[in-house]
Structure 1
């Protein structure tokens, strides 16, 4: 969508004075879907083909979490603080009911909304979403390197913030080089997707935007994801839609199976040979189910 991502970006001021940034894609008068980006990402995480959302009559509202992109940092925030920000943004936009959709590290934030504000939601969709890392069985599925990072995020968030500050410098000066190691570790199908000319610029842009003001937001995101979420999956009463690639090298398929087993009402789509980026080839199907 090129420059439209910048043109459609805006902020709202919340009751505590913080700004919350967002961008809108698709049909401006369509069914609202609030999209929650992954870790070290931003509102610029989107599908490049706007015609898909337009054809489905979907208004996508991609929101920067605190400390990312245009959103101000929120000290000591918890996962369940997020639904309050989302409802404040929905109210500011004059939206009563809406769908939520979380990608990767954004999945837990969608589940927090499903737990805290089910009456405001039409559907909740998780795409390659993270499971609760406070559960040792989930934490055990991480690679050795990620275990070290997440252990520090849980116990020493300031140290992780200092580590990510070094990544921030590269993200702002050479974002393509900064994301290259992430892409290299992805599945073959994901690497092929990232090589497409219409998709290749998205990850560097969303990564650099995550670090627009500092590394504190992305670092605290990791801390939130490693600590108890504040609600049990068994308490999520509304139906959840789950999409997961079976060849996902970023979010283990075992995490998808964990969510399926622990959410009381979960419709699942496990896609063979697809990786972490299945959203790009299955966006129409995902939107169709999300808006009914």
Structure 2
């Protein structure tokens, strides 16, 4: 498993679940805030993505078994979990399947379950609208499309990020942070595309756990200008989670890690 550690080494642990078509490198946004807040953010590449070897996961509910292995190897007892975008479901799965170890949860622009595959077309990113349905029909086809997308130049990826950002996160991404997003996207397929294709397959089918089983305090962060994962996802999540709290972020789009690293770590701190 590819594991990257940000913030204060040995600080209070927060396990990070990276976004879709991304990698553990998107937790770079939490490095400075983690040092200031005394938190260590432990970001794990999902199977076949970034530095993690490929292995088959039948559904998202199998992910916590791998997280538990990493937590055991690092000597973690209890920890918080957070996930961005398509990583939100993986963070929620950890809470559902490890209730004794996960004490709090945050999702940032997190996806809600797709009740029907046609709901993929509600999403604003063309890759999501195409790859989620394609991965259900044929992971080989999805992998071929992802492989072709790797030819897009960095300047195109950067332009697409800024085009789909809100006013506040777009301003926060200018300069070096924008390079972090592009770098995380590139890292996702550094060892092939099979893992990313599997990620799209899992997000478009039954997740393997019920949202009602997530009993821990869960903050659902959502930008009110998010054009990629619409606010209806955040509302469905908050309404389905027994201890869910919806926090709308004014003038913000999809790239909430660029804005909320400090606020999220403060919210996840032990009370």
Specify if TM > 0.5: yes
Q: 1:99 corresponds to which residue?
A: 80
Q: 1:67 corresponds to which residue?
A: 48
Q: 2:160 corresponds to which residue?
A: 181
Gapped runs of 5+ residues in structure 1? 1-19
Compute the displacement of 1:101 (Å).
Answer: 0.6
Compute the displacement of 1:107 (Å).
Answer: 0.1
Distance 1:27 1:163, change over 3 A: same
Q: 1:128 corresponds to which residue?
A: 109
Is the contact between residue 223 and residue 253 of structure 2 (CA under 8 Å) also seen in structure 1? yes
Compute the displacement of 1:270 (Å).
Answer: 1.0
Give CA deviations for 1:112-145 in whole Å, capped at 9, x if unaligned: 1111111111211111101112346854633594
Q: 1:83 aligns with which of 58, 64, 70?
A: 64
1:55 maps onto 2:33 in alignment: no
Q: 1:12 corresponds to which residue?
A: none
Q: 1:9 corresponds to which residue?
A: none
Count of aligned pairs between the two proteins: 269
Gapped runs of 5+ residues in structure 2? none
Moved more, 238-247 or 49-58: 49-58
Q: Which has the higher contact order (CA 8 A, sep 6+)?
A: 2
Q: 2:122 aligns with which of 131, 141, 144?
A: 141
Q: 1:115 aligns with which of 77, 96, 103?
A: 96
Q: 1:220 aligns with which of 198, 201, 214?
A: 198
Tell me the TM-score normalized by structure 1. 0.85
1:256 maps onto 2:265 in alignment: no
